Amino acid sequence: MFTGIIECTAKVYQLNRDKNNLYITFNNPFLNNEIQINQSICHNGICLSIMNINKKTYSVLASEETLLCTNLNFLKIQDEVNLERGITLHRRLNGHIVQGHVDTIATIIKIENRNGSWLFFFRFQKKLDSIVVEKGSIAINGISLTIITCDKYIFNVSILPYTYEKTNLRMMKVGDIVNIEFDIIGKYIKKYIKEYFI
């Protein structure tokens, strides 16, 4: 489990296709004893386990199912991804509960510079009315953020300077695709209402 508080970013070092799977090798930003084989790390909001590791790089495997519902197919060499290791029991939950299970992707349709912060606008293919709420939590490329407004297919969030500088949002432009994970509490409530009241 994760909190949506990004620790650092890593650049894509190598991409290798194997049938319907994708092996991704990243430059390793961690110290030798900070990560290990089979450890799960959140990459742009996607929980992936380390398969190989050395001092300079580590590799993960994305399955066909993961590739179908995330933006990993758009990765290129030298692209940066947001990283977060799993939470520990003594760590504060500074963001919100993020599972690393991406629900869908969204497209950046507008970025506004607000003289000290940025407004990012995103569009989905499906209506959002039943899964997002204003001032609710959402994970975008693994970043825990608060929704400002949402209307049918579009929502926006405010990005503060620290988040902008420490994540790959600083490299994003209109037309780019991001991973989205909706708030798990909201998803359970939606399922409960659908099964028992509709």
CATH number assigned to the domain comprising residue 20: 2.40.30.20
Q: CB 78: neighbour CB atoms within 10 A?
A: 9
Is the Cβ–Cβ distance between 143 and 165 less than 8 Å? no
Do residue 120 and residue 192 come from a single domain? yes
Span 92-129, pLDDT tens digits: 778 888 999 999 999 999 999 999 999 999 998 877 66
Instruction: Specify if 64 maps to a domain.
Output: yes
Instruction: Specify if 96 maps to a domain.
Output: no
Give the torsion sign (CA, 42, 167, 150, 121): negative
Span 36-59, pLDDT tens digits: 999 999 999 999 999 999 889 999
The residue range of the domain holding 174 is 104-197
Looking at 85, 112, 127, the residue that finishes a domain is 85
Query: Taking the complete model, does pTM exceed 0.75, yes or no?
Result: yes
- Give the separation between CA 56 and CA 15, rounded to whole angstroms: 16
Instruction: Specify if 41 maps to a domain.
Output: yes
Domain count, the chain: 2
Is the Cβ–Cβ distance between 154 and 121 less than 8 Å? yes
Instruction: Specify if 190 maps to a domain.
Output: yes
- Average the pLDDT over 164-181 and give the result: 97
Do residue 179 and residue 152 come from a single domain? yes
Instruction: Specify if 39 maps to a domain.
Output: yes
